[in-house]
Structure 1
Amino acid sequence: MSDTARRHRASSKSTQLADIAERTGYSLATVSKVLNGRSDVAAGTRQIIEEALRDSGYTKRISTTKNRKLIEAVFQNFDNIWSLEVLRGIVHEASAHEMSVVTTESGDRSHPDSRWVEGVLRRQPLGVVLIFSNLTESEKSRLQAFNIDYVTLDPAGDPSPDNLSVQADNWTGGLIATRHLLSLGHTRIGIITGPNSMLCSKARLDGYKAALDEHDIPFDPDLVREGDFSTAGGYLQGLSLLKNSAKRPTAIFAGSDLQSMGVYEAARTLDLKIPEQLSVIGFDDVQTAAHMGPALTTVRQPLQDMAAAAVRMIIDKSHGRPIQNRSIYPTTLIVRDSTRPLEISEPH
């Protein structure tokens, strides 16, 4: 690019920002702070300036994507094995492309605190892997203004067709988990879902219902508990299902391996042996599942592969390669030692 062209571009940029400053009544410095993701701007001021930037079609010019060697991963937290599995996949794929990874912990499972965006805008990664639901319109606009692509991994809600997302076939996972227990003769099967607000929880529950329907077994709401995908939640909901011996299920489908760990502890509390008196099946197949006592039968969703795919989506899009906006990975049954055929002498 010639010096004349550079001067013209810089002048055009300054003119655009000056126009936005004049239109909104704020100083050029304040407009620049908003544009650069600075946190020292009042929320109301930020909203007004962001709307003006968006209406004007202004896009921040940043360094070429060839020089951006950073992928950002936004998690709720790292206090469980599930998150570590996802992070492994992100780091492995990023390393294969000679890129680094930065992680952010923020907010809750369904959506993080919006302040995470400010950090992303300051760092200007090539793209962001989001482990939560879809973005707000304001968050989308701020990332788009910086040409920062994002992929939602395991979205809590149904992602927009325009958004990039990677998820597992949760409905089939729920179906094959329940079919497995039914094939062993269990008909009174408890289920501990994840939060009802999350798409994956609803899909796994629907798969459970479909398997029951295949065997003409009526759906019993009394056998359903809403969990939170945590070990502590699995323990509490496991106790709730098992404490009444007269209505106790002979098998439990826990909506995650972490919840299965909680069910194991609940069974021990009640002196119930797994699998002799209670069959348990999980979901995820995290690394520790095979080393539980007994080894956990579970439905595998390829977390590391899914996370790697999210990184590849970002890289492929930055290079102008064709991509599918929505990627759904198959789930598979992994049979181990925590499930067994129901004996005739066991209560139903």
Structure 2
Amino acid sequence: MPTRPRRATLATVAASAGVSVATVSKVLNGRADVAPATRALVRSLLAEHGYVPRPPHRTPVEGLVEVQLDEDLCSYSAEIITGAIEAGAASGVGVIVTQEKGTPRDGTSWAHDLVAAGRRAVITLAEPTQAQLIALSQACLPLVVIDPVNLPGIPMVSIGSTNFVGGLSATQHLLALGHRRIAYLGGPAGAAPNQARMHGYRAAMEAAGVPVRPEYVRASGGFCYPDGLKEGALLFDVEPVPTAVFAVSDGVALGAIQAARARGLRVPEDLSVVGFDDTDLAALTSPPLTTVRQPLREMGRVALRTALRLAAGETIESHHIELATELVVRGSSLAA
């Protein structure tokens, strides 16, 4: 496990600049009684050392927690954010939701801005870079990641669900209905949640003695409706056509249903479909979607409570917390 880099201190910067700690402090606080050349030197060394000021001490109910997205708000993220806001209200802590699109920000400047804005902790549905993880650690600003797609090389605290068990139960449900030509319509090949759900699918098929056809396992570019629509269209060109599909998310499942209808396949009479997430759309689609429920709102609550524990200096029991999934049977799955 990589060693966490030591946090730069005022003394470190002062020694490099050949000035006193008090002079460095004056530069940080914008005091006017520092020579321009000295001020410029100290500022350059602060940036070079990646110095981030420590957040001010606060009582447990003060401050704000930031929840960060890297995409537009959707049913999945809205449920998680709602849970975080509910837990924040119960703890007397405000929750700020921000959106960071495009290239990830430089870690040091990002952490500095968060501390300056009075954040006590950060919860992210985005993928933090190693530079951001290091900068937040140096700033003593706790971070909790929701269902990380990629696992970084340095430790971080994350909240997820039992993806493998969810994939296992979804496939077992289809097998119990008599299906044998069962396809898996996945997300990005390297994404950790996708891999866990796919392994659950394969484990259920193997335990039932049903071979997995390579052409029935497809990795889409993402977890959304257009991904299911595109990859579903390719899947239904395969002969023989599968009689059931387990999709990596509700969005992919709904895209696959539309692709099936475009091929003249009826759901669930000709094709059973099971999704994953149980977002609001799952119960509203026609037919209502059988899916694996992630406790999204509870994931948000646990993330907020965990972030506050970290901010208070408490030791947590595990760096990765998994909440139980549950199969919800609706109208999109039918006996073969």
Question: Once the two structures are superposed, what CA deviation does each residue of 1:142-195 show, in whole Å capped at 9, x if it has no partner?
Answer: 212322101111011246684211111111111111110011111111111111
**Residue 169 and residue 46 in structure 1: after superposition, are their counterparts in 2 closer, same or farther (change >3 A)?**
farther
* Further displaced range: 265-274 or 291-300: 265-274
1:309 equivalenced with 2:305 (yes/no): no
Give the aligned partner of residue 36 of structure 2: none
1:266-345 equivalent positions in 2, closer than 5 A: 266-324=259-317, 325-342=319-336
Secondary structure class of the residue paired with 2:95: strand
Is the Cα contact below 8 Å between 1:65 and 1:318 reproduced in 2? Answer: no
* Further displaced range: 328-337 or 78-87: 78-87
Secondary structure class of the residue paired with 2:169: helix
Q: Which amino acid aligns with 1:311?
A: L
Give the aligned partner of residue 229 of structure 1: 223
Question: Once the two structures are superposed, what CA deviation does each residue of 1:309-345 show, in whole Å capped at 9, x if it has no partner?
Answer: 0110111223344422221111111001100000xxx
Is the Cα contact below 8 Å between 1:131 and 1:155 reproduced in 2? Answer: yes
Q: Which amino acid aligns with 2:311?
A: S
Q: Distance in 1 between matches of 2:179 and 2:143?
A: 43
Q: Distance in 1 between matches of 2:46 and 2:99?
A: 23
**Residue 328 and residue 213 in structure 1: after superposition, are their counterparts in 2 closer, same or farther (change >3 A)?**
same
Give the aligned partner of residue 15 of structure 2: 19
**Residue 263 and residue 114 in structure 1: after superposition, are their counterparts in 2 closer, same or farther (change >3 A)?**
farther
Is the Cα contact below 8 Å between 1:295 and 1:337 reproduced in 2? Answer: yes
**Residue 82 and residue 60 in structure 1: after superposition, are their counterparts in 2 closer, same or farther (change >3 A)?**
same
Q: Distance in 1 between matches of 2:237 and 2:105?
A: 38
Deviation for aligned residue 1:241: 0.9
Q: Which amino acid aligns with 1:213?
A: E
Secondary structure class of the residue paired with 2:332: coil
Q: Distance in 1 between matches of 2:55 and 2:151?
A: 31
Q: Which amino acid aligns with 1:165?
A: S
Question: Once the two structures are superposed, what CA deviation does each residue of 1:193-233 show, in whole Å capped at 9, x if it has no partner?
Answer: 11112111101111110001011112222001112101010
Deviation for aligned residue 1:103: 2.0
Give the aligned partner of residue 232 of structure 2: 238
Is the Cα contact below 8 Å between 1:174 and 1:204 reproduced in 2? Answer: yes
Secondary structure class of the residue paired with 1:283: strand
Q: Distance in 1 between matches of 2:114 and 2:311?
A: 17
Q: 2:243 aligns with which of 246, 250, 270?
A: 250
Q: Distance in 2 between matches of 1:150 and 1:141?
A: 11
Q: 1:126 aligns with which of 101, 120, 123?
A: 120
**Residue 49 and residue 322 in structure 1: after superposition, are their counterparts in 2 closer, same or farther (change >3 A)?**
closer
1:205 equivalenced with 2:198 (yes/no): yes
Question: Once the two structures are superposed, what CA deviation does each residue of 1:227-248 show, in whole Å capped at 9, x if it has no partner?
Answer: 210101011111111134x321
Secondary structure class of the residue paired with 1:65: coil
Deviation for aligned residue 1:113: 4.2
Gaps of 5+ in 2: 1-8, 30-43
Is the Cα contact below 8 Å between 1:124 and 1:148 reproduced in 2? Answer: no
Q: 1:102 aligns with which of 96, 99, 111?
A: 96
Gaps of 5+ in 1: 1-12, 34-43, 54-58, 343-348
Question: Once the two structures are superposed, what CA deviation does each residue of 1:44-84 show, in whole Å capped at 9, x if it has no partner?
Answer: 9776321xx5xxxxx73432132742111121112421111
Q: 1:139 aligns with which of 122, 125, 132?
A: 132
Q: Which amino acid aligns with 1:69?
A: G
**Residue 316 and residue 14 in structure 1: after superposition, are their counterparts in 2 closer, same or farther (change >3 A)?**
closer
**Residue 46 and residue 300 in structure 1: after superposition, are their counterparts in 2 closer, same or farther (change >3 A)?**
farther
Is the Cα contact below 8 Å between 1:296 and 1:338 reproduced in 2? Answer: yes
Deviation for aligned residue 1:121: 3.6
Q: 1:168 aligns with which of 158, 161, 167?
A: 161
Q: Distance in 1 between matches of 2:78 and 2:122?
A: 17
Secondary structure class of the residue paired with 1:147: coil
Give the aligned partner of residue 40 of structure 1: none
% identical equivalent positions: 30
Secondary structure class of the residue paired with 2:261: helix
**Residue 273 and residue 139 in structure 1: after superposition, are their counterparts in 2 closer, same or farther (change >3 A)?**
same
Secondary structure class of the residue paired with 2:68: strand
Q: Distance in 2 between matches of 1:47 and 1:322?
A: 31
Q: Distance in 1 between matches of 2:26 and 2:210?
A: 64
Q: Please give the TM-score of this superposition, normalised by the length of structure 1.
A: 0.80
Question: Once the two structures are superposed, what CA deviation does each residue of 1:262-319 show, in whole Å capped at 9, x if it has no partner?
Answer: 1121122222211011100000011221111111100011111111101101112233
* Further displaced range: 287-296 or 204-213: 287-296
Secondary structure class of the residue paired with 1:167: strand
Give the aligned partner of residue 153 of structure 1: 146
Q: 2:86 aligns with which of 85, 92, 102?
A: 92
Give the number of equivalent residue pairs.
306
Deviation for aligned residue 1:118: 5.1
Is the Cα contact below 8 Å between 1:71 and 1:129 reproduced in 2? Answer: yes
1:185 equivalenced with 2:181 (yes/no): no
Is the Cα contact below 8 Å between 1:76 and 1:112 reproduced in 2? Answer: no
**Residue 47 and residue 253 in structure 1: after superposition, are their counterparts in 2 closer, same or farther (change >3 A)?**
farther
